[in-house]
Structure 1
């Protein structure tokens, strides 16, 4: 596959204006990123969902800035020609703008991210402005915000009534005015997501937000059922069942080891005859001569 330069925020805005859908995938490591780039993905998000997906945490809260730097660096190495966005994890941008900028610096300089993502609406816009003014592209995230899961009481669909819809619309407008280059909408009713997408001039990328956003994002491990046990999600389309394939393949390997059919003749290395004679002489072994 021919390589090309990574997209930038000007090109992403042009895609919105021209009605060209934006594809995004959430990935956490080198091989996943490499495969996503080879498949032609537009954006890779290194999500703090790495805690749920790879470590089986029950929320994203335990994920640290060190975790995000490590995984972002791995993804960038795998997808050198793709636009990479890194999540700012829990409480890394809430204490002060100075602390937020310090953590942004780590994701950009150590992780080599092209942009960062923050969860929240109007309440974080002052921080958004400071980060954008420092020269960092920033992706907003509203709707279901996993870092606030204990505050909102669980993983619920957002925007189901007029008050909630108005709040989401105001959050989207505020993030646009603060300088965000795009917004992720997570688990938002389709009607509200459609309204927000039409209202703001920046791209809106949905996950569980219906058909009318400017783009879509799914988690690598979800769309491939690469987990055990896999939990069905209404908003996810399964493209391959890699989990079952992996489990069956490892099971076959275990069987082959147990019945000694692996390694076979084609998997072993042979020494020169003089080495064999020096080690074993004319000794016989079970199954024939060495």
Structure 2
């Protein structure tokens, strides 16, 4: 069994320029496979709203649903550092609400850290409050899907002067507020490269160039996601095609009578068959 990845280990990896591998997963089986493969971090993303639960946006997932997903992932992981997204609506009202939600994910789901999107004044207050409660906070700036409507949709950030300034300001502010790690999503690499030297905490990128580490959604990198994916997604397997082929072959075998065959069943001694026959004949 590999040694448990800790926050200290992640800091050491950054210092040694050892790339950090992070995967977004939502269930026991996938998390276990990722952990066995040696990934350093597993994120239970609120993108599970779409990927697993079939909602139209991340904003629709609830705390209770995220707790179920997070607990399943935690049971599948023995070494990786587990981070859980704080879903939309669970932190917006107050610092107290944010702390209460974060505590639930640590106590009820076994999260090592919680992730919170945004770097505005209210978000910084939430980061401070959660960190002050003794919980590791992962900040998330750049494209923040929970509030993508306010950003003009699911599109790259940092491509205009104003957007680049906002990104740089927020990346530095979340660190100062007490975040222990930072996710940067969908920001041009040349803009990110200007800011990275000023960020002391480990930075995980997704569509943000060569940061301290990278994160992709398991369903995307395994080729399970159907339809068009984001430009930053790379398919490393064709699991979706294999699953489809397996289902089709199973359906064909059932319909043709090839499955089940004799080897897929159990044998009974003659006296058991006779006993069942006596019950039927006695009717």
TM-score bracket relative to the smaller structure: over 0.9
Deviation of 1:159 (Å): 0.7
Please give the alpha-carbon distance, in whole angstroms, between the structure 2 residues aligned to 1:57 and 1:274.
54
* Correspondence for 1:134: 133
**TM-score (normalizing by structure 1):** 0.92
Task: Identify the match of residue 235 of structure 2 among 231, 238, 244.
Answer: 238
Task: Note if contact 1:26-1:218 (Cα within 8 Å) is conserved in structure 2.
Answer: yes
* Correspondence for 1:288: none
* Correspondence for 1:258: 255
* Correspondence for 1:66: 64
Task: Note if contact 1:197-1:203 (Cα within 8 Å) is conserved in structure 2.
Answer: no
Distance 1:126 1:279, change over 3 A: closer
Aligned pairs, number: 277
Please give the alpha-carbon distance, in whole angstroms, between the structure 1 residues aligned to 2:128 and 2:229.
38
Aligned pairs (5 A) from 1:194-209: 194-209=193-208
Flag structure 1 segments of 5+ consecutive residues without an equivalent: 282-290
Deviation of 1:277 (Å): 4.3
Aligned pairs (5 A) from 1:115-264: 115-123=113-121, 124-210=123-209, 212-227=210-225, 229-264=226-261
Task: Note if contact 1:121-1:171 (Cα within 8 Å) is conserved in structure 2.
Answer: yes
Deviation of 1:278 (Å): 4.7
Flag structure 2 segments of 5+ consecutive residues without an equivalent: 279-283
Report the aligned-residue RMSD.
1.4
Task: Note if contact 1:197-1:214 (Cα within 8 Å) is conserved in structure 2.
Answer: no
Please give the alpha-carbon distance, in whole angstroms, between the structure 1 residues aligned to 2:52 and 2:120.
31
* Correspondence for 1:45: 43
* Deviation string, structure 1 residues 84-112 (Cα, Å, up to 9, x no partner): 00000102112111111111111111111
Please give the alpha-carbon distance, in whole angstroms, between the structure 2 residues aligned to 1:27 and 1:105.
21
* Correspondence for 1:269: 266
**TM-score (normalizing by structure 2):** 0.94
Please give the alpha-carbon distance, in whole angstroms, between the structure 2 residues aligned to 1:188 and 1:115.
24
Deviation of 1:279 (Å): 4.5
Deviation of 1:29 (Å): 0.6
Deviation of 1:11 (Å): 1.6
